[in-house]
Structure 1
């Protein structure tokens, strides 16, 4: 499969990955976490328990096909998902029986049976990984391994055959490569954000006196799943509970005069959506209007600061200073946003200690929330991609204090 075809089914930026591997003297990277495997393959392959090992190999050579190392029983998943951009290396015993001629079948069952018959099985994951590197002509060469999801004994066994008997830890390197999103990834992130906003609007429409927080949260989760996504953090807090940053226990019914704060996260095709809004049932109080205006002003200042060449910490400082100036002099935050992609927090944060420079192609969630226990909280959160001269929204929902 050529590079153009490969990029159409996964988000991996092969030239950028090759450049970073060359800088570290690596011939290949081995992904072990679901996010990094998805980056290479364009499909989610998740282990069903902590002992199961699944890897993907990304060679430095952009013309070489990736390899995937999986237990033999995962060939049925491969057959259903249609992964064709990588060579398969399987390990461990697993048995299925072939169909009797004339019996009912489906294409994925036929492919599963064919793969079972024609794929060599290795003794274990390290043996399969070594076979993949040997076939790529990389046996005994320096390799980086995403250390976050490989069993320690497996990593030690694999490292024995590498120069110096060690594999370079590569989880951070993967995240660095993934900082700049490909057009494929930006489109995936746009779809995730748009789905999140569409369902968020449904939640806003539900708000009325007597409606339970739990009903709104359950509606969100079910709507996400029906749309093919996976719901994650579902912060739906009414009245004083809107000041709780994370909400896992829902017990309040919405009352007239309540503010309701949403902070909603989902995954769609492996990519994250994270958006937030604030709604008031009835007329907002002067306190609500003042504090929301200050939050929105800081959020606007953060966006005005986002552009290539600016440090992440500069965005933070500008946003916090604006909120303090515009009505909340005691305002404090640990960050005013974060990169988003295959991980919810995808490496960079708009925080005082992150001095990395923004580059075109980075995708950021920009948020300047405020939580005051005993009073309430406010949220505006949107997703933007850094462009050559500023930013572009991936979200489109109104940025206001909604009123019902």
Structure 2
């Protein structure tokens, strides 16, 4: 199942002057095709797979992938072309007799040449030959093609340009980023589930943290909450990540929970490649006046930033509003590169666009993002308020449900 909206694809590629996108990045490949590149993706090099996304919605998506995954891929994308990987595989035929000849017979029946040899990993030239066929069959051999050159290594880009000298090749990374910044319904479902499981992990952490616990203990509690919530839904527990700090040294790895300790938990869960992102702050026992005052400043700045988030408003407006609120509260000079980011299928929880001071991109319905106000103060602790939200026609809908105030736990 493709995760892209073909109507939005047409508009986005028309604006970029492209006839098609050709995406090599494993995460982008899967966004377009719904297919995983498999183990070859771990090399993070062009050639593991290519996904062709035409601007014309009547022209089907096509992909190139390693031969190990060809059968499964064709169930999702019928027009899948293969190139050989380093991994040998065969089909055991019916009948009796010695096992080795029966295995070898499957290679002959598949039409394997006698001089066939597998590459050390995979051969970009063979992948490009298969891609040539995919493009030609779609009338795109001489088209204007947007490759994701932000991802592709320079040496691979050179080979790609040589292979398609009759076409016009440009960097399509920006167009692809703009396409996938607005999420489709299946993507929103995955990001919603990821957040719900992550919140279950935070609830377990808040309920079960004890004096003397370290970061690893809190990690285990967060993970336990995810596993419990997933089991309650009849699901396997998906991967998760966390950045947890304890005490007045936000970058210290050896903090222990003591009375009055600040706990910052910036966490996420990854469902089918889609990562949530949220953060909450806790204090073990009763908070001090300073802790409450400082957290209140962050809450005020958070509210100011969220007030600026509306469809049709540039992302930079939220950055300016939060920065101004912090300055008016006495934190003049506070400088944060971005106050949030897009969410999606990525190696990292942070995806373009960013809520930065110079981001002219407008908020659009369907964008799923995280808004955050972090600061790390040695002598006080690490703090980050972060919510996940979706832009709707009327404004942002906060997806995070946990209280945003400084929560006292362990009392």
TM-score above 0.5, yes or no: yes
Q: 1:119 to 1:141 in 2, by over 3 A?
A: farther
Q: 1:83 to 1:254 in 2, by over 3 A?
A: farther
1:45 CA drift (Å):
2.7
Q: Give me the whole-angstrom Cα distance separating, in 2, the residues matched to 1:205 and 1:118.
A: 62
Matches within 5 A, 1:114-125: 117=110, 124-125=126-127
SS of residue in 2 equivalent to 1:368 = strand
Q: Which residue of 2 aligns with 1:97?
A: 90
SS of residue in 2 equivalent to 1:337 = strand
Q: Does 1:231 align with 2:233?
A: no
Q: Does 1:72 align with 2:67?
A: yes
Q: Give me the whole-angstrom Cα distance separating, in 2, the residues matched to 1:25 and 1:356.
A: 19
SS of residue in 1 equivalent to 2:219 = helix
Equivalent residue for 2:31, pick from 32, 39, 48:
39
Q: 1:327 to 1:23 in 2, by over 3 A?
A: closer
1:219 CA drift (Å):
4.2
Q: Which residue of 1 aligns with 2:99?
A: none
Contact 2:337 2:356 in 1 (8 A): yes
1:229 CA drift (Å):
2.5
SS of residue in 2 equivalent to 1:160 = helix
SS of residue in 2 equivalent to 1:357 = coil
Q: Which residue of 1 aligns with 2:361?
A: 356
1:163 CA drift (Å):
5.9
Q: Which residue of 2 aligns with 1:60?
A: 55
Equivalent residue for 1:388, pick from 354, 379, 393:
393
- Kindly provide the CA deviation profile for residues 287-326 of structure 1, in whole angstroms up to 9, marking residues without a partner as x: 0000111101111111111101222111111112223334
SS of residue in 2 equivalent to 1:296 = helix
Q: Select between 270-279 and 216-225 the one with higher mean Cα deviation.
A: 216-225
Contact 1:65 1:86 in 2 (8 A): no
Task: Mark the runs of 5 or more structure 1 residues left unpaired by the alignment.
Answer: 1-8, 104-112
Matches within 5 A, 1:281-360: 281-326=284-329, 328-343=331-346, 344-360=349-365
SS of residue in 1 equivalent to 2:248 = helix
Contact 2:147 2:172 in 1 (8 A): yes
- Kindly provide the CA deviation profile for residues 316-352 of structure 1, in whole angstroms up to 9, marking residues without a partner as x: 1111222333454454322221122223322122121
Matches within 5 A, 1:100-179: 100-101=93-94, 117=110, 124-160=126-162, 162=164, 166-179=168-181
Contact 2:372 2:384 in 1 (8 A): yes
1:276 CA drift (Å):
0.4
Q: Which residue of 2 aligns with 1:191?
A: 193
SS of residue in 1 equivalent to 2:281 = strand
Q: Give me the whole-angstrom Cα distance separating, in 1, the residues matched to 2:281 and 2:111.
A: 56
Contact 2:16 2:175 in 1 (8 A): no
Q: Which residue of 2 aligns with 1:106?
A: none
Q: Give me the whole-angstrom Cα distance separating, in 2, the residues matched to 1:20 and 1:179.
A: 11
Contact 1:57 1:66 in 2 (8 A): yes
Q: 1:37 to 1:322 in 2, by over 3 A?
A: same
Runs of 4+ in 1 over 6 A off after TM superposition: 118-123
SS of residue in 2 equivalent to 1:124 = helix
Task: Mark the runs of 5 or more structure 2 residues left unpaired by the alignment.
Answer: 97-105, 117-122, 231-235
Q: Give me the whole-angstrom Cα distance separating, in 1, the residues matched to 2:15 and 2:338.
A: 31
Q: Does 1:216 align with 2:218?
A: yes
Q: Give me the whole-angstrom Cα distance separating, in 1, the residues matched to 2:406 and 2:184.
A: 34
1:385 CA drift (Å):
0.9
Q: Give me the whole-angstrom Cα distance separating, in 2, the residues matched to 1:119 and 1:189.
A: 43
Q: Give me the whole-angstrom Cα distance separating, in 1, the residues matched to 2:164 and 2:63.
A: 19
Q: Which residue of 1 aligns with 2:248?
A: 240
1:181 CA drift (Å):
1.7
The Cα RMSD (Å) is 2.9
Q: Give me the whole-angstrom Cα distance separating, in 2, the residues matched to 1:63 and 1:223.
A: 45
1:35 CA drift (Å):
2.1
Q: 1:151 to 1:349 in 2, by over 3 A?
A: closer
SS of residue in 2 equivalent to 1:167 = strand
Q: 1:396 to 1:83 in 2, by over 3 A?
A: farther
Q: Give me the whole-angstrom Cα distance separating, in 1, the residues matched to 2:90 and 2:246.
A: 55
Q: 1:149 to 1:314 in 2, by over 3 A?
A: closer
SS of residue in 1 equivalent to 2:63 = strand
Contact 1:335 1:349 in 2 (8 A): yes
Equivalent residue for 1:85, pick from 70, 77, 81:
77
Q: Give me the whole-angstrom Cα distance separating, in 2, the residues matched to 1:100 and 1:195.
A: 45
